[in-house]
A and B are shown apart, each in its own frame.
Chain A
Amino acid sequence: MKSYLYSRLAAAALLGAFVGLGSYAFLYAKGYSYLLNDPAACANCHAMRGQYDAWLKSSHRTAATCNDCHTPHNFAGKYAVKALDGFLHSFYFTSGWYPDNIQITRLSLHVTENACRHCHSSITQAIDVNVPHRNARGMTCTRCHYTVGHSDESAWLLVIPTSSFRSHL
């Protein structure tokens, strides 16, 4: 009887430690900011600093935040994707197992494609009626319009200086 009580106490203490440590980590890492809509939160952990900087200079900065393109446009989907990404980011950033130039996942690409089509539906619907395009495998908006969100090019970081060094000109 006694050992039964002790073991329940031990389990409760462990759970408490998890909840306590987890809460502290949540506050310390500004976890609450991830529940909101401010794009600055996405640069909290430094890994996406470049993407954030480029977005600030992109054509979409006045039209769409990170969430508008990278989470679904419905409540359940939005927080499900946030939860999944939050877990994966925590895992990869802690382990360090991710490339320097980060790459989009299939799910995320799918979400983004739907986001393009959500806001630009009048254009994309007109394209979809065009049979060859609709049937084109792997055709996504960002395949061509990859600069609109946050690329070096959208940010004009690659401006070629006028004094560019070209001997043959």
Chain B
Amino acid sequence: MKAKPEDSSSNRRWLVATVVVSGVAVFAVAALLINIAERKQEAKNPFYRVVELNETISDPAVWGKNFPMQYDLYLRTVDMERTKYGGSEAEPHSPTKADPRSVVARSKLEEDARLKTMWAGYAFSKDYRERRGHAYMLEDQTFTERQQFNPPGACLNCHASMVATYNQLGNGDMFKGFEAVNHMKYTEARQYAKHPVACIDCHDPQSMQLRVTRPAFISGIRALKASQGIPDYDVSKRATRQEMRSFVCGQCHVTYYFAGPTKQLTFPWTGGLHVEDIIAHEDQSKVTEWQHPDTGAGMIKARHPEFEMWNQGVHARSGVACADCHMPYTRMGSLKISDHQINSPLLKINRSCQTCHHFSEEELKARAEDIQDRYFALRNVALDALMDLIHDIQASKNKATPEQLAVARDSHRRGQFMIDFIGSENSMGFHAPQESMRILGSAINICRTGQIVLHGGPAPSKSLIGKNASASK
């Protein structure tokens, strides 16, 4: 029997179709099989101890040998990606001898000239930029133009890995090492700093458990707890794991000042974490960081109080830690690890927000940006009020009575601190939306009242500073 020509061509078609279909099918099954095998293998051994770690090893690359996935994510903090309001964005910079960086972040001063007036006479009016990822913290601090103001070694507490240095300089006593670095010159202390904040600063090298390593936080939270009636609070012993997932961040993302000639890095928490409590602390401790050249007021500077503001918001009330949103669990094969590429949750909405909030990513982003838009609008009103007050004081220096000037300067000190407090807070109002608006409203009132007094109006009937301003009776 001989196959007819049309039969053989139909056979050929069938053959080709079979080869293609079963080829694709075998390919897919093989891919599935290999994938399953990999997942099974990963689940068997989630961790290999390649090196022995101890308190003297600061280099994150060494820790990364034991924890390659976490280290890989940590390295990705070099990424520069912005959100609507925050985040960093790479801007080209011509390297100079003093500043060899070829990329920097946007200058906030160039964006809003009111900030220059606000910080006139102080280092921040010279150079103030968007934050970049953790990877840049040491480099950006080393080369900022604020270095012209000869900062103390205390600055390194939060811009470098300091555990080994504190232990070395204090002969095993972190507090002594910390005090030694505080009053060094920055350039002198800088020689000890080898890495930006690294694994050792948040993790115990033996157990990998989270831990607090910064003396300023240990003292600060002890004072705070004492004010709440809890004496001798030892954060290392008494904090829960979930608290630690915020406390490690709270070691640096807080406001602070350098106390006295020893330049002791101090968290002003003896009265609480509200902005009014912090102003009261700095008033009592007679802190004045600089004199404003336009108004003559003695000023205090607020610095990135993310921890304090988070604590006033509904997420903190619900037990949600910094790490829940900024380091959400991420899937790595069959393992789940916390995302060590610390950045804005708006860049990872599925993993951070959608763990709890069952709405689409677009909806959640819109909600967050709504909060930020409203905050930004009122923040601009508040900055305008502050500018008006500064100009009024400047114009009436020779006309106003000393009493009037004293009230106006006091308004300047407090009003500006409050605006600065939430302005330098890194969430555009999101961490505690209502508290942010309350502070702005209060700051506007303080600034405008200062103006009224200068113009011969009545002194305020009530204390302008008070977080629980009572309804009038």
Q: Contact residues of A with B, CB < 8 Å?
A: 1, 4, 7-8, 10-11, 14-15, 17-18, 21-22, 24-25, 28-29, 45-47, 49-50, 90, 93-94, 99-101, 103, 146, 152, 158-161, 163-168
**Residue in B32, B37, B351, B356 whose beta carbon sits within 8 Å of that of A100 in the complex:** B351
> With A7-B15, A163-B238 given, can you name 11 additional A-B contacts, CB distance below 8 Å?
A7-B11, A14-B22, A14-B23, A21-B33, A25-B32, A25-B33, A45-B39, A45-B334, A47-B331, A100-B330, A146-B358
Instruction: Report the bound CA distance from A18 to B19 in whole Å.
Output: 11
Known: A7-B11, A25-B32. A17 touches B26 (CB 8 A): yes
Instruction: Report the bound CA distance from A28 to B30 in whole Å.
Output: 12
B333: nearest chain-A partner, CB-CB: A46
In the bound complex, residues from chain B placing their C-beta under 8 Å from that of A93 are 35
B12 at interface by CB-CB < 8 Å: yes
Are A14 and B33 closer than 8 Å at their CB atoms?
no
Are B19 and A11 closer than 8 Å at their CB atoms?
yes
Q: Could you show 19 A-B contacts with beta carbons less than 8 Å apart?
A: A1-B1, A1-B3, A11-B14, A18-B25, A21-B30, A21-B33, A25-B29, A29-B33, A46-B39, A46-B43, A100-B328, A100-B350, A101-B355, A146-B358, A165-B247, A166-B316, A167-B224, A168-B272, A168-B311
Known: A152-B355, A152-B356. A165 touches B350 (CB 8 A): no
Are B11 and A22 closer than 8 Å at their CB atoms?
no
The A-contacting residues of B in range 3-18, CB under 8 angstroms, are 3, 8, 11-12, 14-15, 18
B277: nearest chain-A partner, CB-CB: A167
Instruction: Report the bound CA distance from A141 to B225 in whole Å.
Output: 44
Known: A17-B22, A161-B240, A165-B243. A7 touches B12 (CB 8 A): yes
In the bound complex, residues from chain A placing their C-beta under 8 Å from that of B224 are 167
Known: A18-B25, A101-B355, A165-B243. A29 touches B272 (CB 8 A): no
B328: nearest chain-A partner, CB-CB: A100
Instruction: Report the bound CA distance from A25 to B247 in whole Å.
Output: 47
Name the interface size band of chain B.
35 or more
Number of A-B contacts (CB under 8 A): 113
B288 at interface by CB-CB < 8 Å: no
Known: A46-B39, A158-B318. A167 touches B228 (CB 8 A): yes
In the bound complex, residues from chain B placing their C-beta under 8 Å from that of A103 are 354
In the bound complex, residues from chain A placing their C-beta under 8 Å from that of B35 are 93-94
B100 at interface by CB-CB < 8 Å: no
In the bound complex, residues from chain B placing their C-beta under 8 Å from that of A163 are 238, 240, 243
**B299-322 CB contact bits vs A (8 Å, 1 = yes)?**
000000000000110001111000
B242 at interface by CB-CB < 8 Å: yes
In the bound complex, residues from chain A placing their C-beta under 8 Å from that of B319 are 158-161, 164
